[in-house]
């Protein structure tokens, strides 16, 4: 110990040099709170297919050129999904320029794979002229939903659908002066009868008179259609007593409103 250095001072030097903890009464650094774990984000809920933001039946301005690239991509996607389809030229009806299709396709059949029909064709009679966007929804629903329903309820493969032509330039319910039907834009289909691999033919008009299994099939078809189309009508009404009317028209400002009756 150096001369003149007190014992207390020497002890303090030793504490500082050795990194000793501060004396009692002197607060150390305040510990930071542990970060809260990030709240898990909810998993996305699969959305029911919905119409595009712009009504599919909206007539484009006269100077607008149809988007052939979009139509070509849609047709290619249909073919990859096993749809037998042929493109047609965009058109406006000569009798009523409000009618027409920007992305027309004529569909004749769908390739269906499944438990009973490993690779078989579901045919449309007659072939249907539709907008490609609507054809994609219709054929996807028939292939992925209705065909399996036939196997489940009837133990038979769905082989055919008797339907209207698809495109028809007319007013709703054929009333003169009314709004144009979604058929006038290739945005609707009327399904009258289903045929199966066992030779059975089931008309939609047999909604109430069919045997229990056939009746269950028809009700399942209509019930699932309400998730794919914004309008599902029939049977049971004066204008849709013998068929299912399906369309993807826009209802309400948001476009989310659906009619299923």
Q: What is the pLDDT of residues 118-130, one digit of tens each?
A: 556 899 999 999 9
pTM: 0.72
Q: Is residue 7 part of a domain?
A: no
Domain-embedded: residue 44:
no
Distance between CA atoms of 135 and 110, rounded to whole angstroms? 11
Is 146 domain-assigned? yes
Whether the CB-CB separation of 165 and 130 falls below 8 Å is answered with no
Q: Decide if 241 is inside a domain.
A: yes
Containing structural domain, residue 130: 68-260
pLDDT above 80 for 17: no
Enumerate residues 6+ apart whose C-beta is below 8 A from 164: 128, 183, 189, 190, 192, 243
Distance of CA 240 to CAs 191, 197, 204, 209, Å? 10, 27, 10, 17
Cα angle 101-234-143, degrees, rounded to a multiple of 5: 60
Quick check: is 72 in a domain?
yes
pLDDT in tens, 132-175: 999 999 999 999 999 999 999 999 999 999 999 999 999 887 77
**Residue 158 burial (CB count, 10 A):** 27
How many domains are contained in the chain?
1
Contact 135, 85 (CB under 8 A): yes
Q: Is residue 78 part of a domain?
A: yes
């Amino acid at each position: 110990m150096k001369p003149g250095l007190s014992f207390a001072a020497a002890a303090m030097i030793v504490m500082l040099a050795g990194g000793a903890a501060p004396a009692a009464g002197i607060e150390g650094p305040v510990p930071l709170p542990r970060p809260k774990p990030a709240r898990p984000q909810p998993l996305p809920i699969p959305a029911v297919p919905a119409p595009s933001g712009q009504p599919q039946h909206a007539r484009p301005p006269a100077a607008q050129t149809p988007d052939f690239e979009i139509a070509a991509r849609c047709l290619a996607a249909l073919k990859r999904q096993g749809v037998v389809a042929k493109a047609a030229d965009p058109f406006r009806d000569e009798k009523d320029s409000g009618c027409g299709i920007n992305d027309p396709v004529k569909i004749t059949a769908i390739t269906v794979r499944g438990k009973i029909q490993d690779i078989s064709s579901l045919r449309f009679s007659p072939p249907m002229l539709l907008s490609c966007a609507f054809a994609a929804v219709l054929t996807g629903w028939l292939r992925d939903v209705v065909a399996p329903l036939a196997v489940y309820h009837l133990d038979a493969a769905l082989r055919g659908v008797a339907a209207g032509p698809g495109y028809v330039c007319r007013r709703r319910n054929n009333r003169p002066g009314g709004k144009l039907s979604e058929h006038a834009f290739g945005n609707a289909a009327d399904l009258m009868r289903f045929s199966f691999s066992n030779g059975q033919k089931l008309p939609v008009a047999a909604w109430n008179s069919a045997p229990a299994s056939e009746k269950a099939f028809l009700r399942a078809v209509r019930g699932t259609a309400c998730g794919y189309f914004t309008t599902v009508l029939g049977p049971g009404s004066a204008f849709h007593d013998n068929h299912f009317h399906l369309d993807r028209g826009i209802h309400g400002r948001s476009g989310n409103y659906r009619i299923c009756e």
